[in-house]
Structure 1
Amino acid sequence: MKADLIATRQAIRAGSTHPQAVAEACLAAAQSTACQHAFMQLTPEALQQTAQQPQVAQSPLAGLAVSIKDLFDIQGQITQAGSVVLKNQPPAAADGAAVARLRAAGAGLIGRTNMVEFAFSGVGTNPHHGTPAAWDGLHDQPVGAPGQPHVPGGSSSGAAVSVATGAAFIGLGSDTGGSIRVPAALNGIVGFKNTARLVPTTGALPLSTTLDTVCAMTRTVRDAILAHEVLSARRVPQGRRPLSGYRLAVIKSLMQDSMDATVTQAFERSLNTLRASGARIDEIALTELNELAPMMSTGGFSPAEGYAWHRALIEREAERYDPRVLQRLMRGAGMKAHEYIDLVQARRQWIGRVEMALVGYDAVLSPTTPITGPQISAVAPGAERDAEFFRVNGLLLRNTSAVNTLDGCGISLPCHAPDELPVGLMVWHAAMHDDTILQLASLLEPMLQQH
């Protein structure tokens, strides 16, 4: 793994390197073949200008490279959200709230990252701007065999690749159903989805106003804590409990269904490692998870709220949308008002039942995704591959989206060996358990990487 932000900041402050030298290395990574299709736009001047500022090394982010998902407003730039239908929009008049907080903390903005069009898929493909290949950030190597690239996960695809390859230290993204945690898992990095209310969404193009969460990917948990502190404008207290002081749960139903062999091996190995290190892990039923599919049978929040935002644009330019994204948005066109209201009420009651079931537990452990990322060729744009794409998309988002429905928080930690495809362990709980999840993740991280 390449050095994380905190280690690089320490090196700068110690005088062993300089922000400008680090900026050049990040730009070289961003322009390498490993980052092909990862960026919509590179902004080397902005990064270098920040790196040259006096005293920038004393800021929390020390002038170091941060990538911004093409969902967020950056003053003077056009926000396309991975589409072509918005390419002629006027440039943003101001930074979005999250971008402004990062900039104020000393972030050097290296560029806008590619993404699934309008953030509506967990696979990471984009027919307009290309699909970046997954990179294993934990072991700093391409994912899969040479010449057979794997999907990066989505929707924050370019953001994940930018962090995994070393082009950026923090990848700002969003998570509506797993769009931070899924690409983090498939690229061997850390992705933290905070409780949605903790970070403002102002200046981010919406998918679901109910579920959208602004958050980030990093290479380490300590960087994830730093990024969250900047984005949420709050401090995360230092954890003081040993691993044995946490009570953890594992759920068989839903979360472990249809796991492939690689995920099964990595997940079981991780649980065994944690138990051997003193973790108390109980298996619980949490049958409430089986209520999710019936609850979402009329379409769910993202199609309904997404269609409301896109309706006029679709009427004018439907043929310029990614057909797969358009198909999912159009599910929202048929949802009736009473069905939406019923869904809001059903979700509220479901959250209450799940929170009661998790009383006494500090976190739940699950595979972030039940499958590893397939090769891009299996799900690339094209009607003949749509069935496989939608099958894979459903599996990749299944576990993570449950946490979004819960209004919860969760972090994906890499737990695979060097000779395995990337696998993530998701540590999660209900709303406002963010500090506990981050503190626990700090303890788990080194244990999961003992290979």
Structure 2
Amino acid sequence: MSHSTATSARDRLEQILSRLNERRHEEKAFMRVYADSARAEADAADRRRREGNGLGPLDGKIVSIKDLIDVAGEPTLAGSVIRRDTPAAERDALVVRRLRAAGAVIIGKTHMTEFAFTAVGLNPHYPAPGNATDKTLIPGGSSSGAGVSAAEGTCDIAIGSDTGGSIRIPAALNGIAGFKPTARRIPLDGTFPLSPTLDSIGPLARAVADCAMADAVMAGVQPYPLAARPVAGLRIGIPFGLLLEDLSPEIATAFSASLDRLAGAGAEIVDCTIDDLIGRLRQATRIGSIAGLEASRIHAAWLPDDTAPVDERVKAPLRRRLAVSDEAIANLLQTRRALAAEMDERLSAYDLVALPTTPIAAVPIASLETDEAEYDRVEGLLLRNCQVANQFNLNAVTLPMPGLTRPAGLMLVGRNGTDETVLATALSAEALLRDK
């Protein structure tokens, strides 16, 4: 379905609802579909368009919402069965209110891994949504349903969250764009936290322009079509070292070809060293990841309960982190702030940093379901490059790389607060990276 078609929002919505209805007995990407309210919203958008008083670029766009963001009238499960009895949300999360006010048609809530803690896309309580390009492959997580819904066209834009790569990993593995804003750019009010220090809410879509519009609306800034920022003359740093190890041969080739296209358009590709800063943060987080430590406090009430029906991959690490003192966590966060300031200084020499979003493409779901060691290896690789942007308080966008049999992404990373510049550059890079 093309974005530019002049079909009405209601017609496009009905096409999607009919697809979802056909597979309703095996639905895996969506937790809930709001058919009635979405129809009313689509009709209102069409009426505004006919009357010539549209609400801007998001008016009539069909948007899915990750299941840790409040939608009034139902409990926010955050991918967990233990939250089924929590009271219904009294009002929409702030980002949902802003999206609705901009005319977005909210179609439903998407699947996620439990409490957004894991990156592969599997949740023991629900069948895994298969990758949009091949249902036997992992979708990536934790915004698994978001990545699939945006890539398969059951929404125009999916809203996800990203604490260590949870927007960019599913976007990359499903062959679409995804944007992790600078933390705090988009308010977290009404969203279930994983790690208040690292959490960001952001968009996934087939086009960067849609990500940019959704980002602006959720950030509360005036959405206007971003002007593409040419890559000519940009200094793009490549962090040779840790983050370029263990690339699959296909991704190594595609990354190199992507850099060639950027260089061909006039970008200056230069070496950039950040391994020392990554090493120091790794040392500081030997007591536990920031996300795991903060989550252990959020989930402290049920963690001591051996019978709590929660994914072992969530329960076990969080339980270990409960033993770490509040003082040790405070010291770690102070170290992290200092390292983020050093990273900001280091990156001031570059317009952007470029990396493969993930070192590997999606693997078969079956290969991970019973092999714990392989699951851990794959998850570690998926998180490795993405989490740097969260840990050092940066922003980052992933774009599909050309020439691959299974999708993977090129990640452009910018300094704290350079979100609009990164998105504007991504608009140019997206055009350069299209499969020719």
2:325 is aligned with 1:336: yes
| Residue aligning to 2:12 | 22
Q: Distance in 2 between matches of 1:318 and 1:328?
A: 16
| Residue aligning to 1:445 | 430
SS in structure 1 at match of 2:244: coil
| Residue aligning to 2:84 | 87
2:256 is aligned with 1:257: no
| Residue aligning to 1:301 | 290
Q: Distance in 2 between matches of 1:125 and 1:290?
A: 29
Q: Which amino acid aligns with 1:322?
A: D
Q: Distance in 2 between matches of 1:31 and 1:277?
A: 45
Q: Which amino acid aligns with 1:221?
A: V
- Which of residues 273, 276, 295 is equivalent to 2:264? 276
Q: Distance in 2 between matches of 1:79 and 1:50?
A: 22
- Which of residues 408, 413, 418 is equivalent to 1:433? 418
- Which of residues 244, 255, 259 is equivalent to 2:232? 244
| Residue aligning to 1:113 | 110
Q: Which amino acid aligns with 1:97?
A: L
**Superposition deviation, residue 62 in structure 1:** 2.4
| Residue aligning to 2:397 | 411
| Residue aligning to 1:199 | 186
1:61-76 equivalence runs, <5 A: 61-76=58-73
| Residue aligning to 2:405 | 420
| Residue aligning to 1:359 | 348
The 3 A distance-change label for structure 1 pair 355 and 106 is: same
Structural RMSD (CA): 1.8
Q: Distance in 1 between matches of 2:88 and 2:373?
A: 37
The number of residues matched between the two structures is 427
Contact 1:185 1:369 in 2 (8 A): yes
SS in structure 2 at match of 1:132: coil
Q: Distance in 1 between matches of 2:48 and 2:356?
A: 39
Cα distance per residue 1:275-307 (max 9 Å; x no partner):
122211101222322323212111021111111
- Which of residues 34, 50, 57 is equivalent to 2:41? 50
Cα distance per residue 1:163-220 (max 9 Å; x no partner):
1111001111100010000100000011001111111101100000111111111110
Bigger drift between 269-278 and 95-104 goes to 269-278
Cα distance per residue 1:239-279 (max 9 Å; x no partner):
47532131111111121111111211211111112112221
The 3 A distance-change label for structure 1 pair 318 and 311 is: farther
Q: Distance in 1 between matches of 2:295 and 2:258?
A: 37
| Residue aligning to 1:290 | 279
2:321 is aligned with 1:321: no
**Superposition deviation, residue 407 in structure 1:** 0.9
**TM-score, with length taken from structure 1:** 0.91
Gaps of 5+ in 2: none
2:380 is aligned with 1:394: yes
| Residue aligning to 2:360 | 371
2:221 is aligned with 1:231: no
Contact 2:400 2:408 in 1 (8 A): yes
Q: Distance in 2 between matches of 1:372 and 1:359?
A: 31
How high is the sequence identity, in percent, across the aligned residues? 37
**Superposition deviation, residue 31 in structure 1:** 3.9
Q: Distance in 2 between matches of 1:120 and 1:345?
A: 23
Q: Distance in 1 between matches of 2:382 and 2:137?
A: 14
Contact 1:28 1:167 in 2 (8 A): no
Bigger drift between 313-322 and 102-111 goes to 313-322
| Residue aligning to 1:350 | 339
Q: Distance in 2 between matches of 1:306 and 1:440?
A: 34
**Superposition deviation, residue 29 in structure 1:** 3.5
Q: Distance in 2 between matches of 1:43 and 1:70?
A: 13
**Superposition deviation, residue 375 in structure 1:** 0.6
Contact 1:98 1:231 in 2 (8 A): yes
Q: Which amino acid aligns with 2:203?
A: A
Q: Which amino acid aligns with 1:26?
A: I
| Residue aligning to 1:138 | none
Q: Distance in 1 between matches of 2:2 and 2:282?
A: 41
